[in-house]
A and B are shown apart, each in its own frame.
Chain A
Amino acid sequence: MPHNLTFSALHLYNSGEPGIALPVRLSKGADGVDLIAHLDTGASCCIFQRNYADSLDIDVETGEKTKFGTASGYFIAYGHEVSIIALDLEFQATAYFAEDYDFTRNVLGRQGWLNRVRLGLVDYEGKLYVVITTSIPNQSEG
């Protein structure tokens, strides 16, 4: 049975690079910073380097302390409400900033981004299609 999906934005990325990179803007109040983040369907949340919290004048430790498990251990990050802008979509969401400055990843994960969009991926061609999810799921569907 065929399924048809429509999207509002197409992002072309370099499929030769290690990850699916896309420009992201984080903003808090009047402050904003642009960065490169990677799409990560395996990440539970949107997680960023602590340095970006510094740029937004966010006191990292005042956020929601969360321990994230990894394949080889865990790391600590703190959640803060920010605006995440990627492609043509803007969301108010909780972004997590790593406690450790040695943490060097920036990812758009499920909570706060992936769970708010409909996504189409043609990795071979380096094409990422996105549209905002506008429908509210039926409660009975869980």
Chain B
Amino acid sequence: MSQSSQKARGPAYPRRYLSLRGRQGAIKQRPPAPSQPISGSAPDMSPRSEVEKLLGPGSERGGMMPDANLAARRPATLEQYLSGSAESLLSGAPLLESFYKDLQAPHVESPIPGVTPDIRRTYSARTHRLIEASIPALEWRPLSSIRRPISREREIRWLAENRNKYAGQWVVVEGDRLVASGPDSREVFQAAKQAGIEIPFLVQVEPEKQLPFGGW
């Protein structure tokens, strides 16, 4: 950042305010940005054409015009993105909340090309530490959680006992009870849903005597 642009944005804040949480876990309050007169002359925004009269001043000079270099200026890596955000935070921009919400939003398109939603959600859980983390490590790290194990022992036992009878068919089994069966997986699945099964255990029954799998 050049000195002139830094001056225009206001004073930089200490780097410690990049952290959302302090050592005791309390949210640090950023001091209010002191108002500073913006140096330099104001840009001429008077309408210059009929288009600008209709769309507003400046509509043909920058903001609303297609930016040919937009792709080149987008952050190509997470590091660049976070670096830009950190820079804005340092300059006192009201970015903290939107930045944090953006990272938390699970179903919106990632603002960073090539970064998948699950990776972004991983950041949000650890935002206060991830600003300085490197991208390869984050991309490698999965979004994961420990949960109650899925147990389908009774269903698997039912399948073993009834394999020959339903070989080749799609079945939904709940406990030791057959809920639906048939050649069309969609119909079988829908029948199970209509029967009130929230997450059906849907399996295409393999015949008992099948060729051993030889790998790919």
Interface residues of chain A, those whose CB is within 8 Å of chain B, are 8-9, 14, 18-19, 21, 23-25, 27, 32-36, 38, 40, 42-43, 49, 51-52, 54-55, 68-71, 81, 85-94, 104-105, 116, 132, 136-137, 139
Contacts and interface: CB of A to CB of B under 8 A. Distances in A.
B16 interface: no
A54 B186 contact: yes
Size class of the contact patch on chain B: 35 or more
A102 to B, nearest CB: 11
A89 B199 contact: no
A113 B150 CA distance: 16
Interface of B: 116-118, 121, 134, 136-137, 140-152, 156, 160, 170, 185-186, 189, 198-204, 206, 210, 212-216
B186 A55 contact: yes
Contacts of A27: 199
Contact of B213 (A18, A68, A90, A132): A18
18 contacts: A9-B149, A18-B212, A23-B201, A24-B150, A32-B198, A34-B201, A35-B201, A42-B215, A42-B216, A51-B202, A54-B189, A55-B186, A71-B215, A87-B149, A136-B137, A136-B140, A139-B134, A139-B137
B144 A89 contact: yes
A52 B151 CA distance: 19
Contact of A92 (B136, B142, B202): B142
Contacts of A25: 150, 199
B197 to A, nearest CB: 10
A85 B204 contact: no
- A18, A23, A70, A91: most-surrounded residue (chain B CB, <10 A): A23
A105 B214 CA distance: 12
A129 B214 CA distance: 24
Given A88-B146, A90-B147, A69 B216 contact: yes
Nearest to B148: A88
Closest 5 CB pairs of A and B: A92-B118, A51-B185, A23-B152, A34-B201, A70-B216
Contacts of B214: 71
B202 A132 contact: no
B146 to A, nearest CB: 6
A71 B216 contact: yes
Contact of A34 (B117, B150, B204): B150
B202 A52 contact: yes
Contacts of B136: 139
A105 B141 CA distance: 27
B34 to A, nearest CB: 40
Given A36-B156, A68-B216, A85 B146 contact: no
Contacts of A21: 156
A127 to B, nearest CB: 15
A19 B137 contact: no
A126 to B, nearest CB: 13
A61 to B, nearest CB: 17
B150 A87 contact: yes
Contact of A81 (B116, B134, B156, B160): B116
Contacts of B198: 32
Given A55-B186, A137-B137, 9 more contacts: A27-B199, A33-B189, A34-B201, A35-B203, A38-B213, A71-B214, A90-B147, A132-B144, A136-B137
A48 to B, nearest CB: 11
